[in-house]
Amino acid sequence: MKEDYLIAKGGKANPFVLMRYLEVQLMMMNPIVPHFAQYCWDEYVYPIFKASKNYSDKAHETKLFKNQWPLPSTPFNKSIADRYNYMKKLKSSIRDGFDKAKTGGKKSQEGQS
């Protein structure tokens, strides 16, 4: 999803979204690889939270395991998930069609003997 987001935004991502992504990923990795997650938290993520006045209304703890487990901001909506999956498949088929149109529908000569 992160890669799809970056492609859709043309590589100019919203810093809030990226920080939230990092925060959630580290919290979810913490039970599996706690030392690595805590190191990344201490070196990269927590200093930004500490310096930021506008990131979040909740206080962030210095120890990753003391932070609240991430909760979804909105309830799951199956209709939106279905639309997202449809758009993802559509995007893939458009890319495939575009690639075929660029090559004229011919297979590359490298694979043939």
Of 72, 78, 67, 65, the closest CA to residue 30 belongs to 65
Helices and strands of the chain, counted as H and E runs: 5, 0
- What's the confidence (pLDDT) of residue 106? 64
- What's the confidence (pLDDT) of residue 16? 80
Q: Spell out the per-residue pLDDT of the chain, length 113, in tens.
A: 777 777 777 878 788 888 888 888 999 999 999 999 999 999 988 888 878 776 655 667 788 888 878 777 778 888 988 998 998 899 889 989 988 898 876 665 555 54
pTM: 0.57
Place of tokens 């993802």: 88
CA–CA distance, 38 with 110 (Å, rounded to integer) = 47
